Structure 1
Amino acid sequence: MDKFTQTFAPLKLGQVHDLAAARAAEGWRYVQILAVNTEEGIDLVYSYMKDGHLENFTVKAVQKTDVVPSITDVFLEAFVCENEIHDLYDVAIANIAIDFGGMFYQLSSKAPMTVVSPEQLAAREKAKKIAAAKAAKEAAAAKKAAEPAASASAPTGPTEEEIQAKIAGLDPEKAAKVRAAMEAKAKKAAAAAAPAPSPAPVAAGPTDEEIQAKIAGLDPEKAAKVRAALEAKAKRAQQSAEGKGE
């Protein structure tokens, strides 16, 4: 052997026995079955070697409800690893050629390799929370980024040209009604948008010169009465002002 090499490839549970049979027919040597306890289940790694090359095939996340086919009818020596994996990881393996029935090891607890310490459990829970928070943050960011795009793609109303084209296709009477309704709507909108009118300026009263000119045009008796009334009014206004001043 000049050089050692190895590769890793995925393997489906249903392909485990067929792969072993193919490797045996091609002259490969069985090396081991490795079990690894993961968050998703038990990973099984089947290793075969030939001419200095080690092939590793991984079956991911085997569950307690799964049944793994034995390869001991092809490679008898695999009974050691298969019994070991059954006892230590509680993986169901069918038709092991030399089956110890769960007594390969004398154990105080079932599947001890799947038991996690309080520290490991706390670490896993922390990792789950961090992953959940990260996923929530990414989802919120994606939603926020999608909002402007959704607003931009929102459908707009028909243009003036499109409206006029539709009206032109109506019968004359109906088209006149539609145009009248549109004009009324436009007037209402313009009235609502227009600024409120400024109050009209209050007209100033006539000046003293204008009043005297008008009195001069009256007959002497009537003019005397108007002057007397004006003097009385002025006197009352003066008295009222003096009373407020006190």
Structure 2
Amino acid sequence: MARFSQEFTPLAADAIHEDAAARKADGWRYVQTLAVNTEDGIDLIYSYMRDGLLENRIVKALPPHATVPSVTDEFLAAFVFENEIHDLFGISFEGLAIDFGGNFYRVAQPEPMTIISPELKAAREKAAKLAAAKAAKAERAEKAGEAQAEFLAAHPEAKAAGTGAGKVLKPSDDEAVEAKLAGMDPEKVARVRAAIAAKAKKAAEAEQAAKDAELEAKLAAMDPEKAAKVRAAMEAKAARAAAAGAKEGE
């Protein structure tokens, strides 16, 4: 018993006729053309057979009332399928060899195979709204990310001390706050982050002032000569750090 197999491969709408001509030249037999109503449009499936292989060429998501080339000049038997698809799905075929002009079927409703139930229509509309909302959320998140990157570039104080040298922190590590910021307008996000950074800067300055005051108290209690040496060492260290920072910035 001969083995039978089939394959499904994509096909561009403008390549339908060229593909049919190539199939005929290579000895393929035309089997059928099917139409399927999908959420994205009308799919056309052209089936050809040779040596036990059924090759299904799929044209995806044609818009309503699209026009595609007929293959009837290569395979005359296709006129039945193309007239049927025209009357039931509303797809037109340019160059149709035997054209019934929309009278291949007598139908009470034009393009009846494109009609969907109210439930299915509602489900599709809901799915489309969810997809649009997801895309909008992703776009807002992307803009917020861009705004955050600009913010971090403009506010070096967001590089916070106390959690490892050079580690860049977000102005807020609170996940709940970050979730709220992700849904905000990018400009508002930037303002909020700037306010957080300013608050963090003030807190850091206050902490440094307290450390400086504590150090001054210790120096005041030292022998004056020793205190002078400590101050000189601190000033030299600060100068070296400033020089290193300037070199990195070049």
TM-score by length of 1: 0.58
Per-residue CA deviation, residues 28-86 of structure 1 (Å, 9 max, x unaligned), is 11111111112332111111111111211112222345321111111111111101000
Residues 64 and 92, structure 1, Cα contact 8 Å, conserved in 2: no
Question: CA offset at residue 122 of structure 1?
Answer: 0.8
In the alignment, the residues of structure 2 paired with residue 139 and residue 18 of structure 1 have an alpha-carbon distance, to the nearest angstrom, of 40
1:90 paired residue number: 90
1:83–1:4: structure 2 CA closer, same or farther, 3 Å change rule?
A: same
Where do residues 1-246 of structure 1 align in structure 2 (5 Å cutoff)?
A: 2-64=2-64, 66-154=66-154
Aligned residues: 159
In the alignment, the residues of structure 2 paired with residue 23 and residue 118 of structure 1 have an alpha-carbon distance, to the nearest angstrom, of 41
In the alignment, the residues of structure 2 paired with residue 76 and residue 66 of structure 1 have an alpha-carbon distance, to the nearest angstrom, of 21
2:103 partner SS: coil
Question: CA offset at residue 138 of structure 1?
Answer: 2.5
In the alignment, the residues of structure 2 paired with residue 70 and residue 139 of structure 1 have an alpha-carbon distance, to the nearest angstrom, of 42
1:128–1:64: structure 2 CA closer, same or farther, 3 Å change rule?
A: closer
Question: CA offset at residue 146 of structure 1?
Answer: 3.6
Per-residue CA deviation, residues 114-169 of structure 1 (Å, 9 max, x unaligned), is 1122111111111112112222332333334444322233387xxxxxxxxxxxxx
1:100 partner SS: coil
1:149 partner SS: helix
In the alignment, the residues of structure 2 paired with residue 117 and residue 140 of structure 1 have an alpha-carbon distance, to the nearest angstrom, of 34
Residues 72 and 97, structure 1, Cα contact 8 Å, conserved in 2: yes
Per-residue CA deviation, residues 163-192 of structure 1 (Å, 9 max, x unaligned), is xxxxxxxxxxxxxxxxxxxxxxxxxxxxxx
In the alignment, the residues of structure 2 paired with residue 154 and residue 7 of structure 1 have an alpha-carbon distance, to the nearest angstrom, of 56
1:44 partner SS: strand
Residues 79 and 96, structure 2, Cα contact 8 Å, conserved in 1: yes
Moved over 4 A (4+): none
Alignment root-mean-square deviation, CA: 2.5
Structure 2: gaps spanning 5 or more residues: 157-208, 210-250
Per-residue CA deviation, residues 2-40 of structure 1 (Å, 9 max, x unaligned), is 432222222122211111111011111111111111233
1:145–1:81: structure 2 CA closer, same or farther, 3 Å change rule?
A: same
In the alignment, the residues of structure 2 paired with residue 29 and residue 155 of structure 1 have an alpha-carbon distance, to the nearest angstrom, of 70
Question: CA offset at residue 109 of structure 1?
Answer: 0.9
TM-score by length of 2: 0.57
Residues 79 and 98, structure 2, Cα contact 8 Å, conserved in 1: yes
Residues 65 and 90, structure 2, Cα contact 8 Å, conserved in 1: no
In the alignment, the residues of structure 1 paired with residue 69 and residue 138 of structure 2 have an alpha-carbon distance, to the nearest angstrom, of 41
Kindly provide the amino acid, as one letter, of the partner of residue 154 in structure 1.
A
In the alignment, the residues of structure 1 paired with residue 139 and residue 13 of structure 2 have an alpha-carbon distance, to the nearest angstrom, of 34
Kindly provide the amino acid, as one letter, of the partner of residue 98 in structure 2.
I
Kindly provide the amino acid, as one letter, of the partner of residue 116 in structure 2.
V
Q: Which has the larger radius of gyration?
A: 1
Kindly provide the amino acid, as one letter, of the partner of residue 135 in structure 2.
A
Q: Percent identity?
A: 57
1:153 partner SS: helix
Kindly provide the amino acid, as one letter, of the partner of residue 81 in structure 1.
F
Structure 1: gaps spanning 5 or more residues: 157-192, 194-246
